[in-house]
Amino acid sequence: MQTARTVPAATVVNLRDLGGIALGRERRVRQGVLFRSGQLSGLDPAGDLAVAALGIRTVVDLRTADERRWAPDRLPDRARLFVADVLGDHPGVAPARLKALLADPVEAERMLGGGRAEELFADTYRKMVLSPGASAAFRAFLETAADPGARPVLFHCTAGKDRTGWAAAVLLLILGASRETVRSDFLAVNPAVRAAFAPYVQKFLDEGGDPAVAAAVVEVRPRYLEAALDAVDERWGGLEGYVRDGLRVPEPALRRLRDGLVITG
């Protein structure tokens, strides 16, 4: 099954083009207009030719204020920054503290051992659906992606897996992708994220950390996505209600998304 295409960037983690993902009936996402990644604090705007070639016009940063302060983005040449803080209502939750969770194996075991890490992340995904602040951030992202003048758009969080993963999932569902396709694309980031966090995980394990805790923190799991989708179904009765009443995305923006990002053939 087609998932987002990896862009071989030298200084950006987990950079992927959503173009080519199947939307059914010989429809797919247009290439070269929507990209996702991890944070851009290490970007070399002049030296990373793979990123420069994308012609990014807008970067949407989904991170918290603390994350942006600790690791500010370096923008591609001539790109503008748009902040859409997903976890501003809950800045201490797990996706905003990935490295901190791996820094102290004893504290990690106390907080996250015995399956609590997976529970914590699943709960965060529910918060990303139910929190008014998160809904406002995702609406802002979708409206930016719908603006032809803003594209190509690159959206990201820290690792490019949780907030970015749900943003991509919602967008693909709006465009007509099946839940099976969305699930495959959601999970496809795991190899890149494992590689990016390998030094932190290895240090955590060397100091006695639980491999199961590290895996639940670094990876995305099917359960995380299902927790968000279940919240959508339980609270709003499905995608249409979530987009209309939860995210409150205007209908003209939805039309621009589909007109600009979907191709046939």
Task: Give 102's DSSP letter.
Answer: T
Q: Write the CATH number for 53.
A: 3.90.190.10
Task: Give residue 236's pLDDT band: very low, low, confident or very high (50, 70, 90).
Answer: very high
pLDDT at 4: 80
Domain count, the chain: 1
pTM of the model: 0.95
Residue burial 26-37, b: 16+ Cβ < 10 Å; e: rest = ebbbbeebbbbb
Residues paired with residue 262 on neighbouring β-strands, in sequence order: 29
Confidence of residue 265 (pLDDT cuts 50, 70, 90): confident
Q: Which domain holds residue 111?
A: 5-264
What is the per-residue pLDDT across 190-199, written as a single tens digit (0 to 9) for each? 999 999 999 9
SS (H, E, C) 2-47: CCCEECCCCCCCCCEECCCCEEECCEEECCCCEEEECCCCCCCCCC
* Local structure of 177: helix, strand or coil: coil
Say which amino acid occupies 100: A
Q: Kindly report, residue by residue over 71-120, the tens digit of the pLDDT.
A: 999 999 999 999 999 998 776 555 557 677 788 888 888 888 898 889 98
Mean pLDDT computed over 230-257: 98
- Tell me: the pLDDT tens digits for 128-141? 999 999 999 999 99
Residue 94: predicted pLDDT: 57
Using an 8 Å Cβ cutoff, are 14 and 45 in contact? no
State residue 88's pLDDT score.
Answer: 84
Of the chain, the percentage scoring pLDDT greater than 70 comes to: 97
What is the rounded average pLDDT of the residues 8-17? 96
The number of residues in the chain equals 265
Tell me which of 21-25, 88-92, 144-148, 199-203 is least confident: 88-92
The rounded mean pLDDT for the chain is 93
The 10s digit of each residue's pLDDT in 39-71 is 999 999 999 999 999 999 999 999 999 899 999
Q: What confidence tens digit (pLDDT) does each residue in 154-194 have?
A: 999 999 999 999 999 999 999 999 999 999 999 999 999 99
- Give the Cα separation of 70 and 77 in Å (integer): 22
Which residues are known to be catalytic?
157
